[in-house]
Amino acid sequence: QVTVRDALNQALDEELERDERVFLLGEEVAQYDGAYKISRGLWKKYGDKRIIDTPISEMGFTGIAVGAAMAGLRPVCEFMTFNFSMQAIDQVINSAAKTCYMSAGTIPVPIVFRGPNGASAGVAAQHSQCFAAWYGHCPGLKVVSPWSSEDAKGLLKASIRDDNPVVMLENELLYGVPFEISEQAQSKDFVVPIGKAKIEREGTHVTLVAHSRPVGHCLEAASILAKEGVECEVINLRTIRPMDIETVEASVAKTNHLVTVEGGWPQFGVGSEICARIMEGSAFNYLDAPAVRVTGADVPMPYAKILEDNCIPQVKDIIFAVKKTLNI
């Protein structure tokens, strides 16, 4: 069993060792070992040139990282939380995402933007939003959102090796969670392909699609519903852009029902995109009921714990949505 934190640490260590063009920069990543200890031990091993502490200036160090990527290096740019990436969104979207296209493919920008995304616990509105839909909206970026340790390790390695800018949206509340990790995932050559979803649980009655932490909630809901004779198929999206809609379509063709689950806001969300794509494609003909979205509440995140709990999708909300869809 390996925690998500250790899986990310292993991935960084292996890629820094494999390719000397890779370097990590961000606030407190070096001497302090990372705000969340993701980069623990790396500064001691690789030194100041490869693990770089930056001032609290996202716009500045993101610009440096994007320029380094254009010049042939492979930076990993850590945001202490993706809420702070707003300071640097011009660098991420206008510089990183668009340059390869605008240069007719002559200037690739191989960079990874990573850090915790979505709601944490007790940090209120300015530190609790999910940026999957924001970044997933922009052509030129790839966007990944891991759930398990295997996802985290494999997707980070794949992102560092990719020649495109990749936004990797981790979840702070998952960092300390241990997951079983396969023999194969312990190899230094293990990568999870970007753009491929994973079926975490097979089922026949309803398809549940989620990414990041809500995947765990879906599996929990599926276990409870199984006792009532309802078999849920749980899909871990893994990648937001490019989205693996084929896996979702094949599942919907089998189960005839769809529920999407995410921690972000409802309007223009990841679930909205999945529902639209299903409606526009052949899988629509297989639906026996309207697709249902389970999302965060349409409000800035409150600070009070009881309100926060009611703003984030819980297992009971998923069970309610499934029963409503199946009309039971």
DSSP assignment string, 247-278: HHHHHHHHHS-EEEE-SS-STT-HHHHHHHHH
Look at residue 179 in the predicted model and tell me its pLDDT.
Answer: 97
> What one-letter code names the amino acid at 275?
C
Look at residue 274 in the predicted model and tell me its pLDDT.
Answer: 98
Catalytic residues: 58, 127
Look at residue 143 in the predicted model and tell me its pLDDT.
Answer: 98
Domain range list for the chain: 2-186, 198-326
Cα diameter, the chain = 60
Q: How many residues does the chain have?
A: 328
Look at residue 142 in the predicted model and tell me its pLDDT.
Answer: 98
**CA-to-CA dists, residue 45 to 8, 22, 81, 217, angstroms:** 16, 14, 25, 37
Determine the Cα–Cα distance for residues 203 and 324; give it in Å rounded to an integer. 17
Determine the Cα–Cα distance for residues 264 and 105; give it in Å rounded to an integer. 33
Determine the Cα–Cα distance for residues 82 and 240; give it in Å rounded to an integer. 16
DSSP assignment string, 68-131: HHHTT-EEEEE-SSGGGGGGGHHIIIIIIIHHHHHTTTSS----EEEEE-S--SS--GGG----
Return the beta strands (E) in 262-327 as ranges. Answer: 292-294
- Rg of the chain's alpha carbons, rounded to an integer? 20
Average pLDDT, the chain: 97
Per residue of the chain (328 residues), what is the pLDDT tens digit? 999 999 999 999 999 999 999 999 999 999 999 999 999 999 999 999 999 999 999 999 999 999 999 999 999 999 999 999 999 999 999 999 999 999 999 999 999 999 999 999 999 999 999 999 999 999 999 999 999 999 999 999 999 999 999 999 999 999 999 999 999 999 999 999 999 999 999 999 999 999 999 999 999 999 999 999 999 999 999 999 999 999 999 999 999 999 999 999 999 999 999 999 999 999 999 999 999 999 999 999 999 999 999 999 999 999 999 999 999 9
Look at residue 226 in the predicted model and tell me its pLDDT.
Answer: 97
In CATH terms, 2-186 corresponds, of 3.40.50.970, 3.90.650.10, 3.40.50.300, 3.40.640.10, to: 3.40.50.970
Determine the Cα–Cα distance for residues 210 and 27; give it in Å rounded to an integer. 30
Determine the Cα–Cα distance for residues 328 and 324; give it in Å rounded to an integer. 6
169-189 burial string, b = 16+ CB within 10 Å, else e? Answer: bbbbbbbebebebeeebeeee
Look at residue 118 in the predicted model and tell me its pLDDT.
Answer: 94
Q: Which of 257, 151, 260 is nearest to 204 (CA)?
A: 257
Query: Are 260 and 209 in contact, with CB atoms under 8 Å apart?
Result: yes
Angle subtended at Cα 240 by Cα 279 and Cα 13, rounded to the nearest 5 degrees: 160
Look at residue 183 in the predicted model and tell me its pLDDT.
Answer: 92
Query: Are 32 and 175 in contact, with CB atoms under 8 Å apart?
Result: no
Residue that is written with structure tokens 């926060």 in the block: 308
Topology (CATH level 3) of domain 198-326: Rossmann fold (3.40.50)
Domains 2-186 and 198-326 fall in the same CATH topology: yes
Query: Are 171 and 118 in contact, with CB atoms under 8 Å apart?
Result: yes
| CA 178 to chain centroid | 17
Q: Which residues contact 104 (CB under 8 A, 6 or more apart)?
A: none
Name the pTM for this structure.
0.95
Q: At what angle do helices 4-18 and 149-161 cross, to 10 degrees?
A: 30
Look at residue 166 in the predicted model and tell me its pLDDT.
Answer: 98
Name the helix (H) or strand (E) containing 185.
none
Q: How many CB atoms lie within 10 A of CB 254?
A: 15
